[in-house]
Amino acid sequence: MKQIRTYEHKKILVLGLAKSGVGAASLLHKLGAFVTVNDKKPLSENPEAQGLLEQGITVICGEHPIELLDDGFELIVKNPGIPYHNPMIEKALLKGIPIITEVELAYEISEAPFIAITGTNGKTTTTTLIYEMLKEGAKSPLIAGNIGLVASDVAQEATEENTIVIELSSFQLMGIRTFNPKIAIITNLYDAHLDYHETRTNYHSAKANITNNQTEHEYFIINADQEETMKIAAESKAQIVPFSTRRVLENGAYVQDGSVIFNGEKIMDTKDIVLPGVHNLENILSAVAAAKLSGVDNQSIFNVLNTFAGVKHRLQYIGEIEGRRFYNDSKATNILATQNALAAFHEPIILLAGGLDRGNEFDELIPSLKNVKAVFTFGETAGKIERVAQEAGIKMIERVDNVEKAVPAAFKYSKPGDVILLSPACASWDQYKTFEVRGDIFIEAVHKLK
């Protein structure tokens, strides 16, 4: 790692812990800063804070005392989940205290270049694909951010021989100053996180930060099929590399005559790609562009796309039992994600859906249910999903207690050739701690059928 002196003897507040806060506090302590950590969880219930205390770092737990900001801090490293309308953050901004997120620290100390991926949907799949392609092509990648290890931890171990492939949220991107990836990607933009960003414009501006520091020496891979992303590209100083699933491009990544093409060169046939879905084809094209710009050979790209069956819980292929194929899409915590999942299949679908009720209706799903022959519902939104299923003309609709019971019920009703798809269109928190827990229970229930 680079031995920078930027933070030496600086008084810095790390606000909010979780993994990134712990990583930031430890790193700043190593860099010679006077670090104070403030976390809302009481110290007795906070092993992370206890560990920092043992390192000699000042720790204040149990509340966020606003008067703490009168102690002369020169910088705040904010947990990405803390919104900017938080009273502590509002006061810090009024006092003119700079606020960054942990990814900025990672960039400042890293000897390795970054490939950074953001967007509303597809970030994790795209990040994983790029990592696997670079690994297959012997490019020594490391993975970080939301998908992997804390970026500042990874950056401390990285050398010039590595490339850090990092998934970034809009929350993280709001807290950068100098972060400048060699390759930046925006997969797509839809309305999301408006409770945090308040307006669509704010959300899009946060995403645009991924390219703000890029120059003509860097690359910006962008979805050419979206007006919103192209507007951001028009303001970028980087070399623009577009991708499109809908049309042939002069340069960049696209599909033509059943082939994946990059800059006019055929990479592989689309029929040899294992990962289903048009939305995944977008992810694949952006990943191919990043891999080719990184010097990965076509055979390595083929090897990955010919075997990669999906990130866990994201339209993940679980297996086939007596002619029925099972897919785990527990990460589909909103309607758009479930629409994308349903569009990935031409076969008859048995849909398992339901979960936390956030007050929205599900009428937008109706056009996407044309291939659905049965729906098994669970959770707080079961009744709402049953209503739209009825309106879509689906005759088999059954409510069950939970995902574990939905799997055998769906299998009993199904026939060979059917797809049994968990794609809830809802968050999991009414019944399960996380979408990962929900997906794991689905996988276990499928294995029990065997």
R_g (Cα) of the chain, nearest Å: 23
Is residue 233 within 8 A of residue 222, CB to CB? The reply is yes
- How many of the other CB atoms lie within 10 Å of CB of 53? 15
Does 245 show up as a binding residue in the annotation? no
Strands 259-262 and 141-145: unpaired
Strands 34-39 and 11-15: parallel
Does 123 show up as a binding residue in the annotation? yes
Our measurement of the distance from residue 35's CA atom to the centroid of its chain's CA atoms, rounded to an integer in Å, reads 30
Residue type (1 letter), 163: T
Is residue 248 within 8 A of residue 254, CB to CB? The reply is yes
Does 119 show up as a binding residue in the annotation? yes
Coil/strand/helix, residue 122: coil
Between the alpha carbon of residue 19 and those of residues 79, 150, 311, 364, the distances in Å are 9, 7, 22, 36
DSSP 375: E
Any idea which residue has 């729906």 for tokens?
Answer: 375
> Could you give the CA distance from residue 429 to residue 146 in angstroms, rounded to a whole number?
19
> Could you give the CA distance from residue 373 to residue 418 in angstroms, rounded to a whole number?
9
Does 283 show up as a binding residue in the annotation? no
DSSP string computed for 187-209: ----S--HHHHSSHHHHHHHHHT
Does 121 show up as a binding residue in the annotation? yes
Is residue 86 within 8 A of residue 135, CB to CB? The reply is no
Residue 319 pairs with which residues in a beta bridge? 326
Q: Which residues 6+ apart lie within 8 Å of 202 measured at CB?
A: none
Any idea which residue has 């990592």 for tokens?
Answer: 131
Is residue 352 within 8 A of residue 376, CB to CB? The reply is yes
> Could you give the CA distance from residue 370 to residue 20 in angstroms, rounded to a whole number?
43
Token readout for 208 is 């645009």
Residue 185 pairs with which residues in a beta bridge? 117, 221
CA atoms within 13 Å, Cβ hemisphere of 86: 19
Residues at the binding site are: 119-125
Residues at the binding site for ATP are: 119-125
